[in-house]
Structure 1
Amino acid sequence: MTIDDEYRDLVPLGDPPGSALAAVQAGSGAAWALKVLPGRLDRRTRGEVEAELRRLAGPAATAPIVVADAIVELPDGRTALRRELCTQSLPELIEAFGPLSVPDAIALGGALAEALSAAGVVHGGVTPGNVLFRESGEPVLTDFGAAVRRAWPPGHDIGFRAPETIRDAVLDARADRYGLGAILHLALAGTPPFPARPGERDGDHLLRVLTEPPPAIDRDDLPAWLGELVGELLDKNPDRRPADVGARLAGAASDGPRPAGAPIIEFGPERPRRLTQPPVLVAAVAVLLAVVAVLLVLNRPKDMDVPPPPPAAASSAAPAPSASGPAVTLALADPVDRGDVVTLRWTSSVPGLDYGIGVAPEGAEATVRIVGRVTTTDVRVEPGRRYCFEVRATNGGKPVVSAPKAIRGAACRQ
């Protein structure tokens, strides 16, 4: 499926910027979107990706799915998947107009549920950036493919990834349904269920996703059944997430289901309904990329600055109160220094928690990585460099942090 045609006028799209490019194909003048992969496809992964794209080609003809039709080698050596260029993404729409009306959120959820059901393959990354709108207003789901995500796990959109995906890299239909629930929450509330808090470390953010129940959606016009459905989709237990989402959205809507492919044209609970208009005819098959790109760039939401973690590990030996469980105390044993590997062991007053390990190399920023529910782990380090370590956990309340432990004479902040 590799094509050798050159692409010009590449314009960064997507979140993070540059994860997709708008481009014009030389010769034909056709405008495309190129989903840029973080590396080259090895032979095995390439075969798996091509097999998934072939399986998606049939459902994409009738379901609200946008599927790549070619694997493109870019001039700078990167690999990209070529697909239809749509006019807007869900984050851009919400940035411009705010939360969707309840009927539009129901229509959006129904379209995404139909796409997931019809695809026949696991999506693996149901996030807002993969929800696009065609010029007609029809919502579509794109960037299917567990094969690519197994090779390059996503590094963003933490609040839209299922707990089992974060903890154990599980990619299945139940994890896709969690992503659908998170998108419905975003569409109705205007924010994801677990947004990052100012100054919050990535590890603490991950722990909240793993342990805390999703917040209720605060809207006076929200039907009780819809709020319950979103909560069920965001259940920590993947076996409890409902599989009949499309039927429930179609059957329980107060004004009945909208026709398949109907435009979503009403934004926000207090905005008046606009009359459906026929799609505007494009004067030529090849849309001028400069115009399309300018519109897309202007409509792209502002980049969110995530504050860096503090340069040294924080400490706390006191138990933290929790609204959803007993207080937690953590005790990190003295690290075992093995040269390029350090073994960490710890104990907790509450069993079955999810833990994160804070690692603070001397002269560098601290990082936190999730290790799941184990109570021992090995950490790769640079021989001879000084380090501080801590263990972090939460029981549904404020994160608890152990007292830090040092190796090689590092001075840890108390």
Structure 2
Amino acid sequence: MSIETPVGGPRLLAQGPIATVYAGRDPVTGNDFVVKMFPGSFDRETSAWLERERKALASVRSTRSVLQIDDVTAYPDGRSGLRRELCPGSLAGLLDSGTRLGVSDVLALGAAVASALAAAHGADVLHGGVSPHNVLYRASGEFVLADFGVALRRRFPRDPMYAVEYTAPETLRDDTLSPSSDLYGLGAVLYTALTGAPPFPRHTGQQPGERILQVLREPVAPIQEAGVPRELSGTILRLLAKEPADRPQDVASLARLFTKLRLPGGEVVTGESFDVPGEEEAVDVEFDDFAEVHRPAAPALLAPVQVVQAPPASGRTLIREFSGPLKAERMVPWRPIAVAGAGVLVAGLAVVPLFLGPAQIGGQAVPVAAAIPPPSPASAPAPDVKLALAPPRDQSDHVQLTWTAEGELDFVVVMAGERLETKQLVAHRQRGLDVPVDPARRYCFQLRATDGRHVYTTDPVPIRGARCNP
């Protein structure tokens, strides 16, 4: 495959934390296309998985809102890439520019994305990450959904905090991907397009852990935009239900509903339609988790965060360090120990410090701080949930933690390590966790829990002679 452009070389469209996206022109047909170049090659398992997904999607090519992968190519420098149709822009680009979609346009968006998901799910293909970044539009104004499939998401995992406001609670808890989690993404996209803000927008000074707890527990604010049909707003809120079983189950019927509401008599108040950039205008193209991630500058005292995902079946786990955009990724050995509910590991829930007492290492005092959030204000006293963290069982290269509590709670384990960044491990509703540790370091552990109204905290407990100061 060759890439031809008017200036004699590929045109860079987007540089993201994972892939680089180029525009090109086929010298034979004259058709424009894009190539997504990945930082490495597709191994045999990924290639086979990707080919199955690609063939399955090709079987639903008649659904125009499914953006197909036209070719998979290995390059001499060891990188692999995907070739597909060039679209003028993305929904994310439209929203970032301040464009507001009218109700009729949101319904067209919903019908297109729901139809794409219905076709893909019928072919046994998940999307795995629906967000405004992978909802694109053609020059005709048609919305299409790109970046289907799980194979490349597993081969090149992204920053878990990227697009967290479009991520289903069960995906945050334990990395579950399902048709229902795709529907949650659809609901979040429609909510954003309709209101101009995602279901859980980031607030100034808000830490990653707080956003995760929002998605896990807090209800979504009602849609109060003028002229929005109640059937549409109610459907979007159902799509954003915390429990998968409470969301609509038939995505094809959703596509029919959105189409019906656009018809005369569908009680739709049509707003201003957005303008599709002309062919001569410069456009920005974003592609899912491979587009440049723009984030507010982190506070000066915010330490880099280390994210540990649950080990895959291959017996290895991916550790990625980031402070803002993803900076590095590397594979490290993983011992076969259970990590219950290790969905997302984050740092900095808030502001009250927990200190690992000074430890004399090489004659120097080494304080280590962990950030703990204060309880949320509540009008009624918090019930006694009898939250208790048992003494940790030190197994040299990992620590076994168990705890007890009454009621249905979500748990976060806070770990402060000697000369290490503070870590917080979301444990979902498990009552135990095996945490990998450095055999040569001291640690303090604290347990936090929430019922959606109150935050509960245990006293910190040490291992290996650490002194934990609450």
Q: TM-score, normalised by structure 1?
A: 0.80
CA distance in 2, matches of 1:221, 1:59: 35
Greater helix fraction, Structure 1 or Structure 2: 1
Name the CA shift for 1:99/1:413 in 2 (closer, same or farther; >3 Å): farther
CA distance in 2, matches of 1:36, 1:202: 29
Aligned-partner SS, 1:358: strand
Q: Which residue of 2 aligns with 1:82?
A: 83
CA distance in 1, matches of 2:226, 2:378: 31
Once the two structures are superposed, the pairs formed by residues 38-117 of structure 1 within 5 Å of their partners are 39-74=40-75, 76-117=77-118
Pair 1:140 & 2:144 matched: yes
Pair 1:178 & 2:187 matched: no
Q: Which residue of 1 aligns with 2:230?
A: 224
Percent of pairs with identical residues: 38
Write the deviation string for residues 353-406 of structure 1: whole angstroms up to 9, x where unpaired: 222222232233222222221111111111112223222332223544433223
| Cα contact 1:203–1:369 (8 A) shared by 2 | no
CA distance in 2, matches of 1:329, 1:255: 58
Gaps in structure 2 of 5+ consecutive residues:
303-346, 349-367
Q: Which residue of 2 aligns with 1:266?
A: none
Name the CA shift for 1:329/1:142 in 2 (closer, same or farther; >3 Å): farther
**Which shifted more, 79-88 or 230-239?**
79-88
CA distance in 2, matches of 1:401, 1:254: 53
CA distance in 1, matches of 2:255, 2:244: 18
| Cα contact 1:90–1:133 (8 A) shared by 2 | yes
Q: Which residue of 2 aligns with 1:262?
A: none
Pair 1:239 & 2:245 matched: yes
Q: Which residue of 2 aligns with 1:344?
A: 401
Once the two structures are superposed, the pairs formed by residues 207-218 of structure 1 within 5 Å of their partners are 207-218=213-224
Q: Which residue of 2 aligns with 1:260?
A: none
Pair 1:305 & 2:296 matched: yes
Write the deviation string for residues 241-260 of structure 1: whole angstroms up to 9, x where unpaired: 21221122122347468xxx
Q: TM-score, normalised by structure 2?
A: 0.71
CA distance in 2, matches of 1:114, 1:40: 32
| Cα contact 1:384–1:408 (8 A) shared by 2 | no
CA distance in 2, matches of 1:365, 1:176: 33
| Cα contact 2:68–2:84 (8 A) shared by 1 | yes
CA distance in 2, matches of 1:321, 1:229: 30
| Cα contact 2:139–2:279 (8 A) shared by 1 | no
Aligned length: 386
Aligned-partner SS, 1:103: helix
Write the deviation string for residues 36-78 of structure 1: whole angstroms up to 9, x where unpaired: 4465322122112112112212423442121212223356533
| Cα contact 1:357–1:370 (8 A) shared by 2 | yes
Once the two structures are superposed, the pairs formed by residues 326-341 of structure 1 within 5 Å of their partners are 330-341=387-398
Greater strand fraction, Structure 1 or Structure 2: 2
| Cα contact 1:390–1:404 (8 A) shared by 2 | yes
Name the CA shift for 1:400/1:92 in 2 (closer, same or farther; >3 Å): farther
Aligned-partner SS, 2:219: coil
Once the two structures are superposed, the pairs formed by residues 333-412 of structure 1 within 5 Å of their partners are 333-348=390-405, 350-397=406-453, 399-412=455-468
What's the CA shift for 1:20?
A: 4.1
| Cα contact 1:92–1:301 (8 A) shared by 2 | no
CA distance in 1, matches of 2:101, 2:189: 11
What's the CA shift for 1:22?
A: 1.9
| Cα contact 2:26–2:33 (8 A) shared by 1 | no
What's the CA shift for 1:18?
A: 5.4
Name the CA shift for 1:371/1:74 in 2 (closer, same or farther; >3 Å): farther
Amino acid in structure 1 at the alignment position of 2:79: R
Pair 1:22 & 2:22 matched: yes
